[in-house]
Amino acid sequence: MEALTHLLEQSISQYQNYLDKLTDIKNRIGELNNTEVVERSEEMASLMEEIKKKDLSVNRELHSQAPSPLQLALHEKRLALMMAINECNEQLTAQVQGIIAVQKTEISKIRSGRESMNGYSPQLKKTGGRINSNA
């Protein structure tokens, strides 16, 4: 019984940590540069792997015994965190899609401008000649 309680507490802590990091990314998405985004994404992926491993242990324990009322309350808190993470993911996805749309438009404008400039060649008059330094 104590093992399941301990696993649930650890799982809740991991999910809360994940949610905190995800919320920070969501709140600062416009301020982060590419390097920071990659670093945070890798950190989040690593944390998610840890969470998956812990979830396997929690689920195994939940199915092997009847949980106590305390354990059921912890499990409900864990489920609430999962739902909060899902909601935050949906909001972040919408923000990222907006950023991508803006960047696609900017890239299109740059390409169009570059294509226009490719056809431009200045008409320089080739006047002048050698400079005579013997004068």
List, for residues 107-132, the tens digit of each pLDDT value.
888 877 766 666 666 666 666 666 66
User: Residue 57 corresponds to which amino acid?
Assistant: S
| Sequence-separated (6 or more) residues with CB below 8 Å from residue 94 | none
Ranges in the chain, pLDDT < 50: none
Domains and CATH numbers, the chain: 2-104 (1.20.58)
3-class SS of residue 125: coil
Determine the pLDDT at residue 123: 67
